Amino acid sequence: MSEESLKAHSCRYNKLICDICGKRCHDRCGLAIHIDTHRKYRTKDYHCDICKTSFYNLSGFQGHRTRYHEERKFSCPSCRKTFKLEQKFKSHVCKISNFACDICGMRFNNRYCLAKHIDRHRKYRTKDYHCDICKTSFYNKAGLRIHRTKYHEERKFSCTSCRKSFILERIFQSHDCSTYICDNCGKIFYRRAYLIDHMMKHRKYRTRNFKCNKCEKSYFHRRDMRKHIRQNHGEK
């Protein structure tokens, strides 16, 4: 070990001292384990004069006072959250963005918090935005606009393969119309889930014609029988 490394090691070693017996430890983990051996002989000599909670050491006592009993001097005017430290308060205010409640003007730093806040207004709100086609009502203009787009706008783009229609060209261009064919009756499906449901209807009319010559098992498909033989009887 070089002289420089030795000095650095010695410096770290000198800082890790047990404040009860003065023993020096090589790392924080070792110091923590050592301090635990003192617990049964120690007394909680640091007492909070406000709530009477007691602590083994000064640092625990000070942390408790800061967390639970110091006055929160800094208050956010937008969300009413309070802070003890000016630095944390300023950091919080910087994060407040343009997610504003259109009812009371309160601002939030994400859509989720804004949505939760708006829910509290629901019982006092009325659905003032009405669809002139189906008479459905909404709390705000955005809800009405989404409804109109989803249910009442003309679907101009139609797929000739799967016959699905779309309002927006970009969704039409990106949609997948892969086909799935039933190998029993030849019926075509555009979703795998629909094919699986359909195949289940064939099951009750089918027989297990592929039988294993080593045991009593039988299968609907030859490939399943061969897989069984490979896995259970060691044949290729």
Closest CA to 134 of 120, 144, 124: 144
Quote the pLDDT of residue 78: 60
Burial 74-97 (b: 16+ CB within 10 A, else e): beeebbeeebeeeeebeebbeebe
Burial of 1 from C-beta contacts in 10 A (0-12 / 13-18 / 19+): exposed
CA distance 61 to 130: 60
22, pLDDT greater than 50: yes
Amino acid at 124: Y
Is residue 6 very low, low, confident or very high in pLDDT (cuts 50, 70, 90)? Answer: very low
* The domains spanning 3-68 and 157-203 adopt the same CATH topology: yes
Quote the pLDDT of residue 127: 83
CA distance 187 to 192: 12
In this structure, whether the domain defined by 157-203 belongs to CATH 3.40.50 is answered with no
Cβ pair 61, 51 in contact under 8 A: no
pTM beyond 0.85: the answer is no
Sorted by where each begins, the domain ranges of the chain are 3-68, 74-150, 157-203
Closest CA to 56 of 67, 41, 34: 41
Burial of 236 from C-beta contacts in 10 A (0-12 / 13-18 / 19+): exposed
- pLDDT tens readout for residues 125-138: 788 889 998 888 88
Is residue 13 very low, low, confident or very high in pLDDT (cuts 50, 70, 90)? Answer: very low
Chosen CATH of 3-68 out of 2.60.40, 3.30.70, 3.30.160, 3.40.50: 3.30.160
- pLDDT tens readout for residues 53-104: 888 778 788 888 877 887 777 777 666 677 777 777 776 665 555 677 877 7
Task: Kindly calculate the radius of gyration of the chain based on its CA atoms and give it in whole angstroms.
Answer: 36
- pLDDT tens readout for residues 218-227: 887 788 888 8
Quote the pLDDT of residue 40: 67
9, pLDDT greater than 60: no
* Mean predicted confidence (pLDDT) in 18-45: 78
DSSP per-residue letters across 118-187: HHHHGGG----EE-TTT--EESSHHHHHHHHHHHTS---EE-TTT--EESSHHHHHH-----EE-TTT--
- pLDDT tens readout for residues 149-168: 888 888 888 877 777 788 77
**Inter-CA distances, 168 with 142, 143, 155, 159, Å:** 18, 18, 8, 12
**Inter-CA distances, 67 with 62, 85, 89, 129, 186, Å:** 9, 11, 15, 47, 70
Is residue 187 very low, low, confident or very high in pLDDT (cuts 50, 70, 90)? Answer: confident
Percent of the chain clearing pLDDT 70 (strictly above): 84
